[in-house]
Amino acid sequence: MSTEIVNTDIKIKLLDLFQENLSVIKNDSPDYINKIREKAIELFSKLGFPDKKNENYKYTDVKKEFDNGYKTYLSPKNIKFEIKDIFSCDVPDLNTKVILLLNGWFYDRENLLQELPGGAIIGSLQKAMEVYPELVERHFAKYADMEKEGLVALNTAFVKDGIFLYVPKGVVIEKPIQVINVLMDEEEGFTSHRNLYILEENSQASVVVCDHTLSAVNFLTNSVAEFFVGQNAHFDYSRIQNEHNGSKQISHLFFHQEKDSKVTNNTISLHGGVIRNNISVLLNGEGCENNTYGLYLTDKGQHIDNYIFIDHAKPNCISNQLFKGVLDDFATGAFNGKILVRKDAQKTQAYQANNNILLTDDADIKTRPQLEIYADDVKCSHGATVGQLDENAMFYMRARGIPKKEAKLLLMYAFAHEVIQKIKVPALKDRINDLVEKRLRGELSRCNSCQMHCCNT
């Protein structure tokens, strides 16, 4: 399905695309989804794209990124490749279950839903909508707020496929699940996968998501993931964003945490032309813990924008945000961290830190903490720094014989280390350590298939 590049507003174009392909879009989706779809397209029509007047999008013009005549993926495309060929050595010691999404579609069409030990289910969201309607209906579009955000409404209107994970009550999945989002096509493409993770009470799981581009054309992604983390459930979610620099990625994560649940979320951004990450957390019960961490290493003309919103709705919860970034060349970025402590959320502890190193005068980052506190018995802190590499430390190392380049690397690596250290799965931590070191050395390939390259060398 392709759109002509005519001089109409991209919003109108997308609305038209929706109407013209209504039957394809609605086909295969149950009614309850199509009802939500109708509401979503209405909302998108009303809200449109956030523009630069929107405080939350001040530093990233997302609309511009859509206006590129991307082809959309209204049905899965058959591209055959062996997952082993590409990722065989990528995560060598990480004993994981590997799941692949190709251009937003669950790849293994023969095996759309798989059962894991204990009755957990992993697979295609589209299939799950059909097979587990009550479960999906109970959670789908309940946490991703499309009333406020046109991009979420857009994703919901076009929703087709993505990851579905269900972990029933009390079930602990020991092995991390690895999700690989692959973008691969001959033509420029727009994907908008939708993901739903349901962790019932006392369950545990950890998921690693890797975003990759395997062909050199430009891609745009507008993805949404919803996470329901039930009472006393523990969930680890790490992402490695490593698309080529011709790709634009907008992601929206919505975490809904119930009483005594614990979520740790790491976002490691290595490559990608424009990256906008929205992470929204609702602490909806007492005793929750949320850790939202991020590391971004950018150079050339990359742009990274992290927007975090932590909603302390209930008392006695703790949240930690730590985002660190190194920006080289003329890379630009923004960090916006909002903490809302509602009136009843007494004994809240909420911490936020954003530290940045700019390696050149042309690199730039805007960092903005926002605290809205309506409870009186709280402990909150926030701190943001933008600095250069420590000259004294550089000289100290050089005076011991360490060349400038190596000294710089050691310092950058030391800076990044604090975030990497927070990654829980040891094998993943080692892997990310490696990737980060390669990235800092400039050895991580910038072309379309970095992983294949590191495998071959």
Partner 1 sequence: MLSIKNLHANIEGKEILKGINLEVKEGEVHAIMGPNGSGKSTLASVLAGRDMFTVTEGKVTYMGHNLFELSPEERASEGIFLGFQYPIEIPGVSMVNFMKTALNEQRKHKGLEPLSSSDFLKHMREKKELVELDTNLTNRSVNEGFSGGEKKRNEIFQMAMLEPKLAILDETDSGLDIDALRIVANGVNKLKSPHNASIVITHYQRLLDYIIPDYVHVLYDGKIIRSGGKELAFELEEKGYDWLKKGITV
Site residues (vs partner 1, CB under 8 A): 390, 392-393, 395-404, 406-407, 410-411, 413-415, 417-418
Smallest gap from residue 435 Cβ to partner 1 (A): 18
CA dihedral sign, ordered 256, 283, 294, 188: positive
Report d(CA 436, CA 444) in Å as an integer. 9
Burial class (CB in 10 A: 0-12, 13-18, 19+), 180: buried
Contact in structure between 84 and 452 (CB atoms under 8 Å): no
Smallest gap from residue 163 Cβ to partner 1 (A): 34
Backbone angles phi, psi at 397, to 5 degrees: -70, -40
Q: How far apart are the first and last CA of the chain?
A: 38
Task: Work out the number of other CB atoms within 10 angstroms of the CB of residue 377.
Answer: 10
Contact in structure between 91 and 431 (CB atoms under 8 Å): yes
Placement of tokens 């602490």 in the chain: 283
Closest CA to 312 of 275, 343, 354, 279: 343
- Complex with partner 1: residue 13 or 324, whichever CB lies closer: 324
- Complex with partner 1: residue 58 or 417, whichever CB lies closer: 417
Enter the tokens of residue 349.
């502890």
- Complex with partner 1: residue 342 or 398, whichever CB lies closer: 398
With vertex at residue 258, the alpha carbon angle to CA 255 and CA 263, rounded to the nearest 5 degrees, is: 50
- Complex with partner 1: residue 108 or 406, whichever CB lies closer: 406
Smallest gap from residue 423 Cβ to partner 1 (A): 16
Smallest gap from residue 355 Cβ to partner 1 (A): 12
- Complex with partner 1: residue 57 or 323, whichever CB lies closer: 323
Backbone angles phi, psi at 165, to 5 degrees: -130, 130
Residue-by-residue DSSP string for 134-193: HHHHHHTTTSS-TTT-HHHHHHHHT----EEEEE-TT-B--SPEEEEEEE--SS-EEE--
Smallest gap from residue 302 Cβ to partner 1 (A): 23
Smallest gap from residue 335 Cβ to partner 1 (A): 20
Smallest gap from residue 417 Cβ to partner 1 (A): 5
Report d(CA 112, CA 101) in Å as an integer. 11
- Complex with partner 1: residue 41 or 411, whichever CB lies closer: 411
- Complex with partner 1: residue 374 or 396, whichever CB lies closer: 396
Smallest gap from residue 178 Cβ to partner 1 (A): 28
- Complex with partner 1: residue 28 or 390, whichever CB lies closer: 390
Consecutive H or E run containing 248 = strand 247-257
- Complex with partner 1: residue 15 or 411, whichever CB lies closer: 411
Question: One-letter amino acid identity for 187?
Answer: E
Smallest gap from residue 331 Cβ to partner 1 (A): 22
Contact in structure between 238 and 268 (CB atoms under 8 Å): yes
Report d(CA 182, CA 82) in Å as an integer. 12
Smallest gap from residue 402 Cβ to partner 1 (A): 5
- Complex with partner 1: residue 139 or 438, whichever CB lies closer: 438
Burial class (CB in 10 A: 0-12, 13-18, 19+), 174: exposed
Smallest gap from residue 401 Cβ to partner 1 (A): 4
- Complex with partner 1: residue 409 or 427, whichever CB lies closer: 409
Residue-by-residue DSSP string for 340-393: EE-TT-TTEEEEEEEEEEESSSS-EEEEEEEEEE--SSEEEEEEEEEE---HHH
- Complex with partner 1: residue 83 or 410, whichever CB lies closer: 410
Smallest gap from residue 394 Cβ to partner 1 (A): 9
Identify the DSSP state of 121: E
Report d(CA 187, CA 231) in Å as an integer. 45
